[in-house]
């Protein structure tokens, strides 16, 4: 089995995105094993299931697992039976959850296939937040900083823009402002609630490498002469910018060895905790989960 990819068949009565994301999260825990995720969306009839398992049966030499998110009990039973017959691992991701919530609430689940999960409010909130991030990227439209949920401040190449866009994708209106050594930061930053501001920093050697690639990419337009990618000057630059961040009274997150998603999560926690410490509250996007205190 080690030489063949494990096919994870995702069977869903809607898009299958929930199960596919869980499959990808689980897959990451097996970095030395190949996987192939096969999605089967909008399966709402037994006929659709028969076609899926006919194909699996015809290629019985392939290692297979099945993940399903089906609200219909008849369809779930059919998947269970087919997997048992073929000796295939099956994880019912939705059925047991519905059953336990029925016990907890004392109410029956409606079990409506393809029901949207708060799509409209969540979708439009994310779009608005991403548009906000684009408008307020790299110090643009400083007058709008007061409307931001989160403001990131850092030197060039610390990851301000990708983090702003990702936080926007999560539904948080995020602006970012570059800090430049030797230049006074915008006055608008000092007019904000300090708990909204998070500073970023990066290992100097890592920053030098990133900037060197940037200079190479820019070619003749690159910043060869101003020490942009010079390590010694980067150390001095980061010292100055650290002093500015202290003046702003903001926490500073080192993003050197942190994945984008983890950095975003830490930023949200930092802002949320600082807001609560000041008797305020970070605005929560529709559908966003609240972290336990």
Per DSSP, helices labelled H in the chain are 17-27, 46-58, 73-86, 95-105, 119-135, 160-169, 187-190, 204-218, 231-248, 260-277
Q: Is 158 annotated as a binding residue?
A: yes
Neighbours of 248 (CB within 10 A): 19
Report the C-alpha gap between 107 and 85 in whole angstroms. 33
Q: Is residue 36 a contact partner of residue 95, using CB atoms and an 8 Å limit? A: no
Report the C-alpha gap between 10 and 42 in whole angstroms. 11
Cβ-Cβ contacts under 8 Å for 160 (sequence gap 6 or more): 138, 152, 153, 154, 176, 177, 178, 200
Q: Tell me the CA distances in angstroms from 206 to 138, 199, 222, 256, one per residue in order.
A: 21, 17, 18, 7
Q: Is 160 annotated as a binding residue?
A: yes
Report the C-alpha gap between 162 and 215 in whole angstroms. 19
Report the C-alpha gap between 118 and 136 in whole angstroms. 27
Euclidean distance between the first and final Cα of the chain, in Å?
A: 44
Q: Is 154 annotated as a binding residue?
A: yes
Dihedral-angle region of residue 249 (phi above 0 means left; psi in -120 to 50 means alpha; beta otherwise): left
Dihedral-angle region of residue 22 (phi above 0 means left; psi in -120 to 50 means alpha; beta otherwise): alpha
Q: Is 159 annotated as a binding residue?
A: yes
Residues forming the annotated binding site for ADP? 154-161
Q: Which residues are known binding-site members?
A: 154-161
């Amino acid at each position: 089995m080690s030489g063949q990819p494990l096919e994870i068949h995702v069977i869903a009565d809607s898009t299958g995105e929930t199960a596919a994301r869980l499959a990808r999260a689980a897959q990451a825990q097996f970095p030395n094993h190949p996987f192939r995720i096969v999605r089967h969306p909008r399966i709402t009839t037994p006929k659709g299931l028969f076609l899926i398992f006919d194909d699996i049966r015809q290629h019985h030499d392939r290692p297979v697992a099945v993940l399903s998110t089906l609200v219909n009990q008849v369809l779930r039973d059919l998947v269970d039976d087919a997997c048992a017959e073929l000796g295939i691992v099956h994880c019912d991701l939705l059925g047991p959850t519905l059953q336990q919530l029925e016990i907890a609430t004392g109410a029956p689940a409606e079990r409506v296939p393809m029901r949207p999960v708060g799509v409209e409010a969540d979708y439009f909130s994310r779009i608005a937040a991403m548009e906000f991030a684009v408008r307020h990227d790299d110090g643009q439209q400083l007058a709008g900083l007061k409307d931001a949920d989160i403001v990131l401040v850092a030197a060039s190449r610390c990851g301000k823009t990708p983090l702003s866009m990702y936080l926007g994708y999560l539904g948080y209106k995020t602006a970012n402002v570059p800090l430049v050594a030797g230049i006074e930061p915008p006055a608008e930053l000092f007019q904000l609630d300090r708990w909204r501001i998070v500073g970023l920093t990066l290992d100097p050697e890592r920053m030098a490498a990133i900037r060197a690639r940037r200079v190479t990419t820019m070619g003749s337009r690159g910043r060869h002469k101003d020490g942009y990618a010079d390590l010694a000057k980067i150390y001095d630059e980061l010292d100055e910018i650290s002093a500015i961040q202290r003046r702003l009274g903001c926490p500073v997150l080192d993003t050197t060895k942190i994945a984008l998603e983890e950095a975003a999560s830490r930023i949200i926690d930092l802002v949320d905790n600082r807001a609560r410490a000041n008797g305020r509250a970070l605005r929560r996007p529709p559908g966003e989960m609240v972290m336990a205190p």
